[in-house]
Amino acid sequence: MAILVACAYCACSPAAPSATHANTVAVYLDGAERQSETDLQRREIQRALHDMLEKSPAELRQVRYADYSGEVGRWSVTELLRHYFVPRAGVALDERRFFEEFREPAARAVIQRQLDAVNRTLQ
């Protein structure tokens, strides 16, 4: 009986919806470790993060980025993020949700922090 009451409470609790609707882009990038070896790679990361702040979902879907070796046009934005960022939580980056969520304020704030960090590295 106590279990049913606890489960019913969790399902109705105001905190439950926010936990299930967390912005996955923000969760993925917040505190993520950036792994890059060259300024060429860092500039491509910089370009992708900037594009995430400036482009619409339709525009960003069309953009392709250079891979590790610098070969142009190889990766989508989500592929680039998966290759260069290791999230601190065991979170996956779902492409469909990415394009629904990357323009939300929570995601934009974390994207800007990551962009600021890359910019400092390149100065």
Q: What is the pLDDT of residue 123?
A: 85
Evaluate if pTM is beyond 0.85: no
For all residues of the chain together, what is the average pLDDT?
A: 87
pLDDT score for 20 = 58
Q: What percent of the chain has pLDDT over 90?
A: 77
**Interval 60-114: pLDDT, tens:** 999 999 999 999 999 999 999 999 999 987 888 999 999 999 999 999 999 999 9
For range 24-44, the mean pLDDT: 96
Domain ranges of the chain: 22-122
The pLDDT confidence band at residue 7, using thresholds 50, 70 and 90, is very low
Closest C-alpha to 60, from 50, 74, 69: 50
Q: Are 107 and 91 in contact (CB under 8 A)?
A: no
Three-state DSSP string of the chain:
CHHHHHHHHHHHCCHHHHHHCCCHHHHHHCCCEECCCCHHHHHHHHHHHHHHHHCCHHHHHHCCECCCCCCCCCECHHHHHHHHEECCCCCCCCHHHHHHHCCCHHHHHHHHHHHHHHHHHHC
State the pLDDT confidence band at 21, using cuts at 50, 70 and 90: confident
pLDDT at res. 13: 33
